[in-house]
Amino acid sequence: MQLDIGTLTEILVKNRGSDIHVVAGSKPAIRVDGKIRFLEEYDTLTPEDTQRLAYGIMLEKYKKVFEEKNAVDFSIGVHNLGRFRVNVFRQRDSISMVLRYLSSEIRDITKLGLEAKVLELTKKSMGLVLVTGPTGSGKSTTLASMIQYILDNEPVHVITVEDPIEYLFKHNKGIVNQRELGQDVLSFSDALRSALREDPDVILVGEMRDRETIEMALRAAETGHLVFGTLHTNTAISTINRIVDVFSAEEKDQIRTQLSISLQGIISQRLLPKIGGGRVLAYELLIPNAGIRNLIKENKLPQAYALMQSGQAQTGMQTMNQHLRKLYGMGLITKEDALKFSPDPKELARLMGITYEEM
Protein backbone atom coordinates (compact mmCIF):
# COMPACT_ATOMS: atom_id res chain seq x y z
CA MET A 1 0.00 0.00 0.00
CA GLN A 2 1.42 3.36 -1.06
CA LEU A 3 2.05 5.96 1.61
CA ASP A 4 -0.10 9.06 1.14
CA ILE A 5 -0.35 12.51 2.67
CA GLY A 6 -3.63 11.63 4.37
CA THR A 7 -1.90 8.87 6.34
CA LEU A 8 1.05 11.07 7.26
CA THR A 9 -1.14 13.93 8.46
CA GLU A 10 -3.25 11.53 10.56
CA ILE A 11 -0.10 10.17 12.21
CA LEU A 12 1.16 13.69 12.91
CA VAL A 13 -2.07 14.89 14.50
CA LYS A 14 -2.49 11.66 16.51
CA ASN A 15 1.02 12.14 17.95
CA ARG A 16 0.46 15.87 18.56
CA GLY A 17 3.36 16.70 16.30
CA SER A 18 4.14 19.95 14.52
CA ASP A 19 5.83 19.01 11.21
CA ILE A 20 6.10 16.25 8.60
CA HIS A 21 9.37 15.76 6.69
CA VAL A 22 9.36 14.02 3.31
CA VAL A 23 12.91 13.47 2.00
CA ALA A 24 14.26 11.05 -0.61
CA GLY A 25 16.68 8.54 0.91
CA SER A 26 15.05 8.74 4.35
CA LYS A 27 12.07 7.25 6.06
CA PRO A 28 9.24 9.78 6.53
CA ALA A 29 9.66 11.71 9.76
CA ILE A 30 7.59 13.88 12.08
CA ARG A 31 8.58 16.44 14.69
CA VAL A 32 7.08 15.90 18.15
CA ASP A 33 7.89 18.14 21.14
CA GLY A 34 10.64 19.75 19.09
CA LYS A 35 12.42 16.48 18.17
CA ILE A 36 12.53 14.56 14.88
CA ARG A 37 10.99 11.06 15.03
CA PHE A 38 11.37 8.67 12.08
CA LEU A 39 8.37 6.52 11.16
CA GLU A 40 10.23 3.22 11.22
CA GLU A 41 7.23 1.20 10.06
CA TYR A 42 7.48 2.74 6.58
CA ASP A 43 10.00 2.14 3.79
CA THR A 44 12.73 4.59 2.88
CA LEU A 45 11.33 7.12 0.42
CA THR A 46 12.59 7.18 -3.15
CA PRO A 47 12.77 10.29 -5.36
CA GLU A 48 9.71 8.93 -7.16
CA ASP A 49 7.85 8.68 -3.83
CA THR A 50 8.63 12.25 -2.80
CA GLN A 51 7.64 13.61 -6.22
CA ARG A 52 4.35 11.68 -6.15
CA LEU A 53 3.53 12.95 -2.64
CA ALA A 54 4.40 16.56 -3.44
CA TYR A 55 2.71 16.77 -6.83
CA GLY A 56 -0.34 15.02 -5.42
CA ILE A 57 -1.22 18.03 -3.25
CA MET A 58 -0.10 20.91 -5.52
CA LEU A 59 -2.56 22.86 -7.61
CA GLU A 60 -1.42 23.64 -11.14
CA LYS A 61 -0.47 27.21 -10.21
CA TYR A 62 1.83 25.93 -7.45
CA LYS A 63 3.38 23.34 -9.77
CA LYS A 64 4.16 26.14 -12.20
CA VAL A 65 5.86 28.23 -9.50
CA PHE A 66 7.81 25.21 -8.27
CA GLU A 67 9.01 24.30 -11.75
CA GLU A 68 10.16 27.89 -12.34
CA LYS A 69 11.77 28.55 -8.95
CA ASN A 70 12.46 25.06 -7.50
CA ALA A 71 10.56 26.02 -4.34
CA VAL A 72 6.99 26.96 -3.45
CA ASP A 73 4.93 27.74 -0.33
CA PHE A 74 1.20 27.16 0.01
CA SER A 75 -1.36 25.82 2.46
CA ILE A 76 -3.81 22.92 2.23
CA GLY A 77 -6.82 21.70 4.17
CA VAL A 78 -7.14 18.03 5.15
CA HIS A 79 -10.65 16.75 5.89
CA ASN A 80 -11.37 16.34 9.62
CA LEU A 81 -7.80 17.27 10.56
CA GLY A 82 -7.22 20.95 9.76
CA ARG A 83 -4.83 23.06 7.72
CA PHE A 84 -1.17 22.54 6.89
CA ARG A 85 1.44 25.01 5.65
CA VAL A 86 3.52 23.34 2.92
CA ASN A 87 6.99 24.06 1.54
CA VAL A 88 8.18 22.03 -1.45
CA PHE A 89 11.80 22.37 -2.56
CA ARG A 90 14.59 20.61 -4.43
CA GLN A 91 17.68 19.06 -2.87
CA ARG A 92 20.25 16.67 -4.35
CA ASP A 93 18.25 16.54 -7.58
CA SER A 94 15.10 15.29 -5.86
CA ILE A 95 12.01 16.83 -4.28
CA SER A 96 11.62 17.33 -0.54
CA MET A 97 8.65 18.66 1.38
CA VAL A 98 7.84 19.93 4.87
CA LEU A 99 4.28 20.26 6.14
CA ARG A 100 3.59 22.35 9.26
CA TYR A 101 0.37 21.57 11.14
CA LEU A 102 -1.84 24.58 11.72
CA SER A 103 -4.33 23.73 14.40
CA SER A 104 -7.83 24.74 13.35
CA GLU A 105 -8.45 25.85 16.91
CA ILE A 106 -6.92 29.21 17.79
CA ARG A 107 -5.72 28.95 21.36
CA ASP A 108 -7.06 31.17 24.13
CA ILE A 109 -4.43 33.84 24.73
CA THR A 110 -4.89 33.51 28.50
CA LYS A 111 -3.71 29.87 28.30
CA LEU A 112 -0.43 30.37 26.42
CA GLY A 113 1.67 31.16 29.49
CA LEU A 114 1.79 34.90 28.79
CA GLU A 115 1.43 37.53 31.49
CA ALA A 116 -1.51 39.97 31.60
CA LYS A 117 0.75 42.77 30.34
CA VAL A 118 0.84 41.05 26.93
CA LEU A 119 -2.95 41.08 26.80
CA GLU A 120 -2.87 44.85 27.30
CA LEU A 121 -1.06 45.19 23.96
CA THR A 122 -4.21 44.00 22.17
CA LYS A 123 -6.11 46.95 23.61
CA LYS A 124 -3.86 49.66 22.16
CA SER A 125 -5.52 51.94 19.64
CA MET A 126 -2.40 52.39 17.49
CA GLY A 127 1.28 51.58 17.25
CA LEU A 128 3.54 48.63 16.44
CA VAL A 129 3.56 45.28 18.26
CA LEU A 130 6.18 42.69 17.26
CA VAL A 131 6.35 38.96 18.01
CA THR A 132 9.80 37.57 17.27
CA GLY A 133 11.81 34.38 17.53
CA PRO A 134 13.34 31.63 15.41
CA THR A 135 11.31 29.31 13.19
CA GLY A 136 9.19 26.98 15.31
CA SER A 137 9.09 29.28 18.34
CA GLY A 138 5.30 29.65 18.37
CA LYS A 139 5.12 33.15 16.88
CA SER A 140 2.13 32.30 14.67
CA THR A 141 0.22 30.81 17.61
CA THR A 142 0.82 33.89 19.78
CA LEU A 143 -0.18 36.31 17.02
CA ALA A 144 -3.28 34.30 16.08
CA SER A 145 -4.42 34.27 19.71
CA MET A 146 -3.94 38.04 19.99
CA ILE A 147 -5.83 38.76 16.75
CA GLN A 148 -8.74 36.47 17.63
CA TYR A 149 -8.94 38.04 21.10
CA ILE A 150 -9.30 41.45 19.45
CA LEU A 151 -12.01 40.15 17.10
CA ASP A 152 -13.88 38.60 20.01
CA ASN A 153 -13.81 41.74 22.13
CA GLU A 154 -13.57 44.85 19.95
CA PRO A 155 -15.85 46.23 17.16
CA VAL A 156 -12.96 46.73 14.72
CA HIS A 157 -11.87 45.86 11.17
CA VAL A 158 -8.81 43.60 11.00
CA ILE A 159 -6.80 43.05 7.81
CA THR A 160 -4.13 40.32 7.68
CA VAL A 161 -1.42 39.83 5.05
CA GLU A 162 0.06 36.33 5.25
CA ASP A 163 2.39 33.99 3.35
CA PRO A 164 0.53 31.67 3.36
CA ILE A 165 -2.66 32.06 5.44
CA GLU A 166 -2.25 29.86 8.49
CA TYR A 167 -5.10 30.27 10.96
CA LEU A 168 -8.63 31.06 9.79
CA PHE A 169 -9.97 33.86 12.00
CA LYS A 170 -13.64 34.16 12.91
CA HIS A 171 -15.76 37.29 12.72
CA ASN A 172 -17.25 38.18 16.09
CA LYS A 173 -17.52 41.70 17.48
CA GLY A 174 -15.01 42.63 14.81
CA ILE A 175 -14.74 41.75 11.11
CA VAL A 176 -11.64 40.31 9.43
CA ASN A 177 -10.24 40.14 5.90
CA GLN A 178 -7.34 37.74 5.30
CA ARG A 179 -5.13 38.18 2.23
CA GLU A 180 -2.60 35.61 1.03
CA LEU A 181 0.62 36.53 -0.71
CA GLY A 182 0.69 35.29 -4.30
CA GLN A 183 -3.02 34.57 -4.34
CA ASP A 184 -4.77 37.75 -3.21
CA VAL A 185 -1.87 40.20 -3.42
CA LEU A 186 1.60 40.34 -5.01
CA SER A 187 3.67 41.61 -2.06
CA PHE A 188 3.46 42.60 1.59
CA SER A 189 4.18 46.22 0.72
CA ASP A 190 1.44 46.28 -1.96
CA ALA A 191 -1.01 44.79 0.50
CA LEU A 192 -0.13 47.33 3.20
CA ARG A 193 -0.43 50.21 0.77
CA SER A 194 -3.86 48.92 -0.25
CA ALA A 195 -4.89 48.19 3.34
CA LEU A 196 -4.57 51.85 4.32
CA ARG A 197 -7.43 52.57 1.90
CA GLU A 198 -9.63 49.78 3.26
CA ASP A 199 -10.69 51.30 6.59
CA PRO A 200 -8.64 49.05 8.91
CA ASP A 201 -8.23 49.42 12.65
CA VAL A 202 -5.79 46.53 13.06
CA ILE A 203 -3.29 45.17 10.52
CA LEU A 204 -1.35 41.91 10.81
CA VAL A 205 1.78 41.67 8.65
CA GLY A 206 2.86 38.04 8.42
CA GLU A 207 6.54 38.93 8.16
CA MET A 208 8.39 42.24 8.01
CA ARG A 209 11.01 40.91 5.64
CA ASP A 210 12.18 43.94 3.62
CA ARG A 211 12.69 47.68 3.80
CA GLU A 212 9.50 48.65 1.97
CA THR A 213 7.30 46.46 4.16
CA ILE A 214 8.90 47.82 7.34
CA GLU A 215 8.49 51.39 6.06
CA MET A 216 4.81 50.82 5.27
CA ALA A 217 4.18 49.12 8.64
CA LEU A 218 5.73 52.05 10.51
CA ARG A 219 3.64 54.49 8.48
CA ALA A 220 0.47 52.56 9.28
CA ALA A 221 1.39 52.45 12.99
CA GLU A 222 1.95 56.22 13.00
CA THR A 223 -1.35 57.03 11.30
CA GLY A 224 -3.79 55.57 13.80
CA HIS A 225 -3.59 51.81 13.20
CA LEU A 226 -2.54 48.97 15.50
CA VAL A 227 0.00 46.93 13.51
CA PHE A 228 1.23 43.45 14.42
CA GLY A 229 4.26 41.91 12.73
CA THR A 230 6.95 39.24 13.04
CA LEU A 231 10.71 39.06 12.58
CA HIS A 232 13.18 36.19 12.93
CA THR A 233 15.20 37.78 15.72
CA ASN A 234 16.19 36.30 19.08
CA THR A 235 15.90 39.23 21.50
CA ALA A 236 13.82 42.37 21.83
CA ILE A 237 16.82 44.67 21.48
CA SER A 238 18.20 42.83 18.44
CA THR A 239 14.75 43.26 16.86
CA ILE A 240 15.05 47.04 17.04
CA ASN A 241 18.57 46.86 15.62
CA ARG A 242 17.40 44.63 12.76
CA ILE A 243 14.70 47.11 11.76
CA VAL A 244 17.06 50.10 11.88
CA ASP A 245 19.82 48.26 9.98
CA VAL A 246 17.55 47.70 6.98
CA PHE A 247 17.83 51.44 6.22
CA SER A 248 20.70 53.53 4.92
CA ALA A 249 22.93 55.54 7.24
CA GLU A 250 21.12 58.74 6.26
CA GLU A 251 17.74 57.26 7.20
CA LYS A 252 18.60 55.52 10.47
CA ASP A 253 17.99 58.53 12.73
CA GLN A 254 14.54 59.06 11.25
CA ILE A 255 13.64 55.37 11.69
CA ARG A 256 14.85 55.42 15.30
CA THR A 257 12.62 58.42 15.93
CA GLN A 258 9.64 56.69 14.32
CA LEU A 259 10.23 53.53 16.37
CA SER A 260 10.65 55.50 19.58
CA ILE A 261 7.18 56.94 19.05
CA SER A 262 5.22 54.07 17.52
CA LEU A 263 6.62 50.94 19.18
CA GLN A 264 4.19 49.49 21.74
CA GLY A 265 5.84 46.20 22.58
CA ILE A 266 8.11 43.33 21.55
CA ILE A 267 7.54 39.72 22.58
CA SER A 268 10.61 37.60 21.84
CA GLN A 269 9.91 33.92 22.43
CA ARG A 270 11.11 30.32 22.29
CA LEU A 271 9.49 26.93 22.89
CA LEU A 272 11.49 24.73 25.29
CA PRO A 273 11.16 21.02 26.15
CA LYS A 274 8.98 20.67 29.22
CA ILE A 275 9.88 18.24 31.98
CA GLY A 276 7.48 15.31 31.65
CA GLY A 277 6.72 15.94 27.98
CA GLY A 278 5.36 18.71 25.81
CA ARG A 279 6.81 22.17 25.47
CA VAL A 280 6.64 25.39 27.44
CA LEU A 281 6.78 29.01 26.26
CA ALA A 282 9.72 31.15 27.36
CA TYR A 283 9.72 34.80 26.38
CA GLU A 284 11.01 38.25 27.08
CA LEU A 285 8.85 41.33 26.94
CA LEU A 286 9.88 44.87 26.12
CA ILE A 287 7.27 47.60 26.64
CA PRO A 288 8.83 50.98 25.92
CA ASN A 289 8.60 53.48 28.76
CA ALA A 290 9.89 57.04 28.49
CA GLY A 291 13.43 55.93 29.25
CA ILE A 292 13.53 53.19 26.63
CA ARG A 293 11.90 55.42 24.01
CA ASN A 294 14.63 57.98 24.57
CA LEU A 295 17.36 55.31 24.33
CA ILE A 296 15.91 54.09 21.00
CA LYS A 297 15.86 57.64 19.66
CA GLU A 298 19.38 58.43 20.88
CA ASN A 299 20.87 55.13 19.61
CA LYS A 300 21.81 53.94 23.11
CA LEU A 301 20.04 50.58 23.00
CA PRO A 302 22.61 48.62 25.07
CA GLN A 303 21.41 50.62 28.09
CA ALA A 304 17.83 49.48 27.51
CA TYR A 305 18.57 45.98 28.83
CA ALA A 306 19.10 47.34 32.36
CA LEU A 307 15.74 49.14 32.18
CA MET A 308 14.05 45.87 31.16
CA GLN A 309 15.46 44.22 34.28
CA SER A 310 14.28 46.79 36.81
CA GLY A 311 10.98 48.12 38.13
CA GLN A 312 9.07 45.22 36.65
CA ALA A 313 6.16 45.46 39.05
CA GLN A 314 5.33 48.73 37.29
CA THR A 315 6.52 48.09 33.73
CA GLY A 316 5.58 44.40 33.30
CA MET A 317 8.80 43.85 31.35
CA GLN A 318 11.06 40.83 31.72
CA THR A 319 14.23 39.55 30.07
CA MET A 320 14.51 36.06 28.61
CA ASN A 321 16.96 35.07 31.34
CA GLN A 322 14.56 36.20 34.06
CA HIS A 323 11.79 34.08 32.57
CA LEU A 324 14.10 31.07 32.11
CA ARG A 325 15.08 31.32 35.77
CA LYS A 326 11.39 31.45 36.70
CA LEU A 327 10.51 28.40 34.58
CA TYR A 328 13.47 26.49 36.08
CA GLY A 329 12.40 27.46 39.61
CA MET A 330 8.88 26.18 38.88
CA GLY A 331 10.30 22.82 37.85
CA LEU A 332 9.08 23.15 34.26
CA ILE A 333 12.44 23.03 32.46
CA THR A 334 15.83 21.49 33.19
CA LYS A 335 18.92 23.46 34.10
CA GLU A 336 20.57 22.18 30.92
CA ASP A 337 17.77 23.46 28.67
CA ALA A 338 17.59 26.79 30.49
CA LEU A 339 21.27 27.41 29.77
CA LYS A 340 21.09 25.99 26.24
CA PHE A 341 18.36 28.39 25.15
CA SER A 342 19.63 31.42 27.05
CA PRO A 343 20.94 34.41 25.04
CA ASP A 344 23.52 34.90 27.82
CA PRO A 345 24.11 31.65 29.76
CA LYS A 346 26.73 33.17 32.05
CA GLU A 347 24.27 35.80 33.25
CA LEU A 348 21.57 33.14 33.66
CA ALA A 349 23.92 30.96 35.70
CA ARG A 350 24.47 33.89 38.07
CA LEU A 351 20.70 34.38 38.37
CA MET A 352 20.26 30.68 39.10
CA GLY A 353 23.06 30.71 41.67
CA ILE A 354 25.17 28.11 39.86
CA THR A 355 28.63 28.10 38.33
CA TYR A 356 28.47 28.23 34.56
CA GLU A 357 31.60 26.06 34.24
CA GLU A 358 29.54 23.21 35.75
CA MET A 359 27.90 22.81 32.35
Regarding whether 190 and 59 lie in a shared domain, the answer is no
What pLDDT does residue 209 have?
84
Regarding whether 182 and 67 lie in a shared domain, the answer is no
What pLDDT does residue 1 have?
56
At residue 96, the 3 state secondary structure works out as strand
Average pLDDT over residues 194-221: 92
Average pLDDT over residues 23-48: 95
Pairing of strands 263-273, 279-286: antiparallel
Regarding whether 174 and 42 lie in a shared domain, the answer is no
Domain termination site, one of 80, 102, 124: 102
Regarding whether 48 and 63 lie in a shared domain, the answer is yes
pTM score over 0.75: yes
What are the phi and psi torsion angles at 175 (to 5°)? -115, 145
What pLDDT does residue 175 have?
97
What pLDDT does residue 167 have?
87
204: pLDDT strictly greater than 90: yes
Residue 326 lies in a domain: no
Average pLDDT over residues 10-18: 94
Among positive and negative, which fits the CA dihedral 55, 61, 67, 72? negative
Least confident of 22-26, 28-32, 163-167, 266-270: 163-167
103: pLDDT strictly greater than 80: no
Residue 351 lies in a domain: no
Give the CATH number, domain containing residue 214: 3.40.50.300
Range of the domain at 10: 5-102
At residue 346, the 3 state secondary structure works out as helix
Average pLDDT over residues 314-322: 91
In the chain, % of residues over pLDDT 70: 99
Regarding whether 71 and 154 lie in a shared domain, the answer is no
In the chain, % of residues over pLDDT 90: 78
Residues 345, 356: contact at Cβ < 8 Å?
Answer: yes
Residue 173 lies in a domain: yes
Residue 325 lies in a domain: no
Regarding whether 188 and 281 lie in a shared domain, the answer is yes
Domain termination site, one of 85, 102, 119: 102
Regarding whether 193 and 302 lie in a shared domain, the answer is yes
Please tell me the distance from the alpha carbon of residue 114 to that of residue 163, in angstroms, as a whole number: 25
Regarding whether 96 and 191 lie in a shared domain, the answer is no
Regarding whether 186 and 68 lie in a shared domain, the answer is no
DSSP per residue over 45-80, as a string? PPHHHHHHHHHTT--HHHHHHHHHHSEEEEEEEETT
Domain termination site, one of 64, 81, 102: 102
DSSP state of 185: B
What are the phi and psi torsion angles at 224 (to 5°)? 95, 20
Residue 293 lies in a domain: yes
> Domain total for the chain?
2
pLDDT tens per residue across span 218-255: 999 999 999 999 999 999 999 999 999 999 999 999 99
Residue 90 lies in a domain: yes
Sequence-distant (≥ 6) Cβ neighbours of residue 42 within 8 angstroms: 3, 27, 28
At residue 338, the 3 state secondary structure works out as helix
pLDDT tens per residue across span 247-271: 999 999 999 999 999 999 999 999 9
Q: Which residue has the higher pLDDT, 79 or 112?
A: 112
Residue 159 lies in a domain: yes
Give the CATH number, domain containing residue 88: 3.30.450.90
| The dihedral formed by the CA atoms of 115, 305, 314 and 311, expressed in degrees to the nearest 10 | 120
Regarding whether 68 and 17 lie in a shared domain, the answer is yes
